[in-house]
Amino acid sequence: MHPTREAVGERFDPALMQRARERTWAALDGIRQHMHPGINEDEAKLAAIEVFRELGVERLWHPVLIRIGANTTKTYRQRSDPSVRLGENDSYFIDLGLVFDGHEGDVGDTLVVGHAPEKQACADAARTLFDEVASAWRTQRLSGQALYAFAGERAEAMGWRLNHAIKGHRVGDYPHSIHQGGNLGDMEAAPSSGLWILEIQIAHPSEPFGAFHEDLLIATDG
C-alpha cells in the first residue's frame, strides 16, 4: 500500500481520534432529541447548529447530512427532495463529520419515530451489517475491497440492497485530505485501526426507504 494512504500529521493522537469519535456520537444523539414528526431536513440542520455550539465543535469537515423518509435512499452527492418532512411513523439518518481537538470524527446512524417495523428492520440491518463487516476486518484482516465485497454478499443474503457507491474513507488529524487516502473500498490491503471510516448504506429492494450506519474501524469493539 502506498504509505500516504495512511499518513498522519505531527499532531495526530489516537486518543484524540477516539475522543473526537465519542463526541461526534454525542452530537448525533443531541440532534436526535430535536427530531419530531413534521420537521424537514433544513430545520433539522438548524437544530444541529445549536447542538454543535453547546458541545464546542471546532468546525465541520463535511456538511451535515440529514436524510428523512424517501430521501434515505439517496447517496451522499444526490440532492434531497426538500418537500419531505418526517412522518408520524418514519425513519431518518444523520451523518456528521466534526472536528474536536484538531481530529476528525465521522459517524452516522438511522433512527425511527413512531411505529414503522419495516423501517426499524432496515435500520437494525444496517447496524448488524456494519458489525459483521467490522468483525470480519478484525478477525480476518480483509482488504478494503474484500470488506465491501463481503458487505454486498451479506446485504443480499439479508434481503437488502447495498449502495456500492458508498465505499468508506480516511479520517485523521484535520485535514486528513492532504494525505489523499482515497476510498476504503478501493484498498488492496487491510486498513489499519483508527484511520478509516466504514460506511454502510442499504435500501429496501422495492420500497422507497433505506438506512445508513458508519463509524471508525477500531481494533476492539466499543
Phi/psi region, residue 191 (left: phi>0; alpha: psi -120 to 50; beta: rest), is beta
Q: How many helices (H) and strands (E) does the chain have?
A: 4, 7
Beta-strand relationship, 90-100 and 103-113: antiparallel
Q: What is the pTM of this model?
A: 0.95
Mean pLDDT, rounded, for 29-36: 98
- Is 180 a residue whose pLDDT tops 90? no
C-alpha to C-alpha distance for 70 and 68, rounded to whole angstroms = 6
- Is 93 a residue whose pLDDT tops 60? yes
DSSP for 96-142, written as a single string: EEEEETTEEEEEEEEEEESS-HHHHHHHHHHHHHHHHHHHHHHHH--
Query: What is the average pLDDT score of the chain?
Result: 95
pLDDT tens for 71-82 read 999 988 899 999
Percent of the chain whose predicted confidence (pLDDT) is above 90: 92
Cβ contacts of 3 within 8 Å, gap of 6 or more = none
Mean pLDDT, rounded, for 120-139: 98
C-alpha to C-alpha distance for 157 and 14, rounded to whole angstroms = 35
C-alpha to C-alpha distance for 134 and 143, rounded to whole angstroms = 11
Task: Compute the 3-state secondary structure of the chain and give helix, strand, coil in percent, each to the nearest 5.
Answer: 40, 25, 35
C-alpha to C-alpha distance for 49 and 72, rounded to whole angstroms = 21
> Is domain 3-216 in CATH 3.90.230.10, yes or no?
yes
